[in-house]
Amino acid sequence: MLSKGGLKSLLPHVLRRIIHCNRLSIGNTSGMAEGYKQANIVILHKSLADDFEKFCHANNGPLPLLYRSKPGDWKCPSLSSDSDIRTDCLQYRMYEYGAFTGSLKSLKEYSEQLKDMVTFYLGCSFSFEKAIQTAGIPIRNVEQKCNVSMYKTAVPCYSISTFCCNLVVTMRPIPESKLEAAVLATSELKEAHGAPIHMGDPGLLGIQDLSKPDCGDPVHLHPGDIPVFWACGVTGVEAVINCRSPLAFTHSPGCMFITDLKNDSVTVRSSREAPQVHCISQDPLHYSMVSAEAVRKIKTLESLIGIDPGNRGIIHLHCQDELLKACLSISHARSVLITTGFPTHYSYEPPEENDGPPGALATAAMLQALEKDVAIVTDQRAMDLNKKIIDEAVQLGILKRPVPLLSYQKESADSALMFLCENGNPGRPRFDHLIAIERAGMAADGNYYNARKVNIKHLVDPIDELFLAAQTIPGVATTGVGDGGNELGMGKVKDAVKKHIKNGEIIACDVEADFTVVAGVSNWGGYAIACALYILSTCEIHDRYLRKAVGFPQLLKKTVWLSALPSVTKEEKLLKALVKHGVRSGKTASLEMEVDGLPFYNTHSLMIEKLL
């Protein structure tokens, strides 16, 4: 019998002959025939073949189709010259009516049944192992002389007829410093599942315990390793089980068919199309993926809104790449809570300023277009005003439908947790991301101050508590957008506020957000978030990562997303509506077409045009 050590450099046809003769003492083909494509195998009755092919095309991340045979054809001439699918896998599995009924070394005894069956050859991640090694990245399961780990996830595939199942993934531990290299090494190898579909906490895929894979072997992480997950062809096996076909065969997980095709014909992306990896959360650990071009565009947005038209010193508050990280996090969220409202004009009714609501509604409009759940929380005393503004935004075509409007009051020590989570359970949050846009923020002394250091606490509900509670709930992130340092979420830059902003020692917000977006006018920050979310949604790399490489690209919805972007016309109409409701400019208390003392025309209108 031959051992695995000498099999790395053998040519595929030699390996197939050895497998055919049943002369191997190994349990998987990982690391064998380096640089050649390996394939998952699914063999079904011909009556199911068309639907299964559609299922593969609908979920081409886990099921990249290399070849479909004709009924009864045991060869695959485009993949190998001398193969016989009945004998050329290390081990097979047989399923009857969805039940696993045995492992087989050969299918020859079923040759008569196979005459009415079709074989599907599907890409395998073993094919990219050589590319990963060439990039200087260790393959831990090969080092540990074991099979790769495979896990069933909670991610549903796109169903076709009787074929429906959840995604199955492989996991490879990758050193954190090598994450981007691993993505670059695999992203163009689409017939070997392409780039990873998740990097970080396995719980985000519904995987409870890495030490207990559903197939394969546990692979141990070294210190500094990150679990990285690729779509896996064993997804096809799950689909076979669920369709309950009277008879079906598959390869045994890890026991692949080795083709004669090399993996060296890769089209290299231009640098601007290259994928980048960014950490968006530490608890749970979560990395996202996006193209270099999308990153460049979002950085441009951040630069545009970072100007200081009021000469307040906000340039000293700027945190680089916070807009990018915030929007990557928001992009992954299912449900978002927005808050706004700064009652700076305490002697007027209403006391609200007109910086904040337009940016909040622009963000909400894009979130609606992206089919995310979105709600707004504001002060109880301002509920009627905000309802009128929201209704008007719907009439003006800014929002597709009214946004649910909420208020928050502290009634007990766990009020914030009860508000944010079902029954106060941190494991069941109602919102994944909280966004504050020009929302009055609590200072170190527990009060709330406008820029002139007037205490307006009597007008402000303690919505800060929601942001503080979010810090204790894994998976809930927060973003603060501000232009002066006294806004909710600006606690992250409070030292700079105290040093560089007028009255900063008193007015600085003490409550931090995970991400701090600083803008010359806070509305601009809201517009930039909407634009950045549009950029991410139209990025093919990010779209694939979001949908875990199952289903179809979402780019067909681009027209809907485009119509949700802010525009000069929309924002002009909204500002007129705010003036009608008595909502004033922040700096001057004017009921004119201005925000923060800056004219809408030729200042705010120009900024909107630049952002678009």
SS (H, E, C) 91-115: CEEEEECCEEEEEECCCHHHHHHHC
Mean pLDDT of 88-109: 92
The Cα–Cα gap between 278 and 609 comes to: 28
Mean pLDDT of 571-580: 97
Band (pLDDT 50/70/90 cuts) for residue 128 is: confident
Mean pLDDT of 133-158: 93
Band (pLDDT 50/70/90 cuts) for residue 557 is: confident
The Cα–Cα gap between 500 and 113 comes to: 80
pLDDT at 19: 64
Architecture of the domain spanning 4-262: 2-Layer Sandwich (3.30)
Band (pLDDT 50/70/90 cuts) for residue 89 is: confident
CB 527, CB 327: distance < 8 Å = no
The Cα–Cα gap between 256 and 124 comes to: 8
- pLDDT of 32 > 80? The answer is no
| Tens-place pLDDT, residues 577-595 | 999 999 999 989 999 999 9
Determine which of 139-148, 154-163, 534-543 has the lowest per-residue pLDDT on average: 139-148
- pLDDT of 58 > 60? The answer is yes
The Cα–Cα gap between 393 and 365 comes to: 9
- pLDDT of 14 > 90? The answer is no
pLDDT at 1: 44
Band (pLDDT 50/70/90 cuts) for residue 82 is: confident
pLDDT at 49: 97
| Tens-place pLDDT, residues 461-504 | 999 999 999 999 999 999 999 999 999 999 999 999 999 999 99
pLDDT at 26: 59
| Tens-place pLDDT, residues 216-230 | 999 999 999 999 999
| Tens-place pLDDT, residues 267-288 | 556 667 899 999 999 999 999 9
The Cα–Cα gap between 324 and 336 comes to: 17
pLDDT at 187: 92
The Cα–Cα gap between 153 and 362 comes to: 35
- Amino acid letter, residue 461: D
pLDDT at 80: 87
Q: What is the DSSP string of 448-474?
A: BB-TT--B-GGG---THHHHHHHTTST
3-state helix, strand, coil in the chain (%, to 5): 35, 25, 40
- pLDDT of 252 > 60? The answer is yes
CB 172, CB 221: distance < 8 Å = no
pLDDT at 268: 55
- pLDDT of 7 > 60? The answer is no
Mean pLDDT of 516-536: 98
Mean pLDDT of 527-554: 96
pLDDT at 265: 53
**Which sequence spans correspond to the domains of the chain?**
4-262, 276-611
pLDDT at 12: 64
- Amino acid letter, residue 537: S
pLDDT at 371: 96
Architecture of the domain spanning 276-611: Alpha-Beta Complex (3.90)
pLDDT at 256: 82
Band (pLDDT 50/70/90 cuts) for residue 537 is: very high
The Cα–Cα gap between 561 and 325 comes to: 20
Q: How far apart are the first and last CA of the chain?
A: 66
- pLDDT of 134 > 80? The answer is yes
pLDDT at 314: 92
Note whether 4-262 and 276-611 share their fold. no
Please state, rounded to an integer, the average pLDDT across all residues of the chain: 92
* Residues sharing a CB contact under 8 Å with residue 42, sequence separation 6 or more, in sequence order: 52, 119, 120, 122, 236, 237, 239, 240, 248, 249, 250
Band (pLDDT 50/70/90 cuts) for residue 88 is: confident
- pLDDT of 196 > 80? The answer is yes
Band (pLDDT 50/70/90 cuts) for residue 35 is: confident
pLDDT at 136: 94
Pairing of strands 515-518, 477-482: parallel
DSSP 317: G
With pLDDT > 90 as the criterion, what percentage of the chain qualifies? Answer: 81
- pLDDT of 603 > 90? The answer is yes
